[in-house]
């Protein structure tokens, strides 16, 4: 009615016709209620509600997702934005609650357990089948543990220089000269042959080293009150990778707490690298990372590739 008045009058003044518009609105039969608003009273409100909402279906209990599922969130896309950029968040969330509203909505939390504000519809979520298996999907989160490590790294580097009477230089990224898809970034270099890797475990920050090893840090095992290096630990794998890629002979691995520090000298083990590391790194690059770089499925809202060795790893993990 306003638009008609504006068109006929050739102007956007409406105050003088407001009473007429309200009167016409209240005395016109509406298609939804099949009544004039002016005729609605307390006596007929129940019949009005019944006739108005009988066409609506109550939400059923069948849901696309369930509590505990890992999902991505749809990104808001501007008009004409490049289509090859991901439509879904790289961060993975967990469904914590389902509201059987109409339509259904899902309440989420992040992997740290922090609740995400607001609810999400099914069309706004994409299920992630195996969140633990895809290194492609990992996102760096600056958690307190990472902040703690960054805050103390330089302090530990200077402490190592003083205790061991040596010079440690900071460095950037090393690229493998034979396999350039591999890189390493140690915390320092010593001359032409040495590396430094510094660990400041946040969970053990108030402990002495012996207590930390007994309760938190599994790089060493206690054997008859002696420290024995655990070559299955992820830090050992990390150091061996750094030594091979940077072509260095040894690494000083320092584990520091506010009360204590232990330094382990780890030498390069080429047999360990060839048998236990490189075949798996190469396979993951060829079958997981490279296909995603060349022909991205994530950017097309498709589930990421699941090579056979990944599926077998998942199955073996579930059995243990």
β partners of residue 127: 71
Query: How high is the mean pLDDT of the chain?
Result: 82
pLDDT greater than 60 at residue 135: no
Q: What pTM value is reported for the model? A: 0.58
- Asked whether 74 and 126 are in contact (CB, 8 A), the reply is yes
β partners of residue 88: 74
Helical segments of the chain, H only: 2-9, 18-26, 45-53, 144-164, 209-215, 234-246, 270-272, 278-284, 290-294, 308-319
pLDDT of residue 145: 77
Residue with the bigger pLDDT between 302 and 1: it is 302
Per residue in 42-56, pLDDT tens?
Answer: 787 777 776 766 555
pLDDT greater than 50 at residue 141: no
Dihedral angle of Cα 116, 117, 123, 127, to the nearest 10 degrees:
10
Q: What is the mean pLDDT of residues 246-266?
A: 97
Q: What's CA 225's distance to the chain center, in Å?
A: 40
Per residue in 104-120, pLDDT tens?
Answer: 899 999 877 888 888 89
The phi, psi pair for 192, rounded to 5°, reads: -100, -10
- Asked whether 264 and 229 are in contact (CB, 8 A), the reply is yes
pLDDT greater than 80 at residue 3: no
Q: What is the mean pLDDT of residues 114-130?
A: 84
For the record, the structure tokens of 60 come out as 């059923």
Per residue in 267-280, pLDDT tens?
Answer: 999 999 999 999 99
pLDDT of residue 55: 54
pLDDT of residue 138: 47
- Asked whether 304 and 292 are in contact (CB, 8 A), the reply is yes
Widest pairwise Cα distance in the chain = 98
The angle subtended at Cα 285 by Cα 273 and Cα 92, nearest 5°, is 115
| Strand blocks (E) in the chain | 70-73, 93-99, 105-110, 115-120, 125-127, 174-175, 183-184, 188-190, 194-199, 220-223, 226-229, 250-256, 261-267
pLDDT of residue 305: 77
Stretch among 5-14, 68-77, 171-180, 291-300 having the lowest mean pLDDT: 5-14
The phi, psi pair for 10, rounded to 5°, reads: 70, 20
The angle subtended at Cα 151 by Cα 145 and Cα 156, nearest 5°, is 105
Cβ neighbour number for residue 77 with a 10 Å cutoff: 11
99-107 own/partner pairs: CB under 8 Å, 24+ apart: 100/59, 100/61, 100/63, 101/59, 102/56, 102/57, 102/58, 102/59, 103/59, 104/59, 104/63, 106/65, 106/71
For the record, the structure tokens of 183 come out as 């890189």
Domains recognised in the chain with CATH numbers: 2-53 (no CATH), 70-128 (no CATH), 144-274 (3.90.320.10)
pLDDT greater than 50 at residue 82: no
pLDDT greater than 90 at residue 298: no
d(CA 2, CA 192) in angstroms, rounded, equals 82
Q: Residues of the chain with pLDDT > 90: what percent?
A: 42
Per residue in 168-183, pLDDT tens?
Answer: 999 999 999 999 999 9
Stretch among 25-29, 189-193, 236-240 having the lowest mean pLDDT: 25-29
């Amino acid at each position: 009615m306003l638009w008609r008045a504006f068109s006929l009058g050739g102007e956007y003044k409406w105050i003088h016709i407001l009473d007429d518009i309200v009167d016409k609105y209240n005395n016109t039969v509406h298609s939804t209620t099949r009544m004039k608003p002016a005729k609605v009273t307390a006596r007929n409100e129940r019949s009005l509600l019944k006739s108005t909402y009988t066409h609506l279906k109550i939400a059923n209990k069948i849901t696309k997702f369930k509590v505990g599922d890992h999902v991505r969130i749809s990104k808001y896309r501007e008009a004409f934005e490049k289509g090859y950029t991901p439509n879904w968040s790289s961060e993975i969330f967990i469904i914590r609650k389902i509201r059987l509203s109409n339509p259904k909505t899902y309440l989420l939390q992040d992997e740290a357990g922090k609740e995400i504000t607001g609810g999400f519809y099914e069309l706004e979520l994409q299920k992630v089948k195996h969140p633990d298996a895809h290194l492609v999907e990992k996102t760096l989160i600056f958690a307190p543990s990472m902040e703690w490590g960054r805050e103390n790294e330089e302090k530990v580097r200077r402490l190592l220089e003083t205790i061991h009477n040596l010079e440690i230089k900071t460095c950037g990224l090393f690229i493998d000269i034979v396999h350039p898809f591999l890189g390493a970034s140690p915390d320092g270099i010593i001359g032409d042959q040495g590396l430094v890797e510094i660990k400041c475990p946040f969970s053990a920050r108030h402990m002495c080293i012996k207590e930390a090893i007994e309760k938190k840090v599994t790089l060493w095992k206690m054997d008859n009150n002696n420290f024995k290096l655990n070559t299955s630990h992820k830090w050992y794998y990390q150091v061996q990778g750094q030594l091979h890629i940077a072509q260095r002979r040894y690494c000083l691995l320092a584990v520091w707490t506010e009360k204590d520090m232990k330094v382990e000298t780890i030498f390069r083990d080429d047999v360990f690298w060839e048998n236990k590391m490189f075949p798996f790194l190469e396979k993951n690059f060829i079958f997981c990372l490279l296909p995603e770089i060349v022909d991205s499925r994530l950017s097309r809202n498709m589930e990421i590739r699941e090579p056979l060795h990944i599926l077998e790893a998942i199955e073996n993990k579930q059995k243990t």
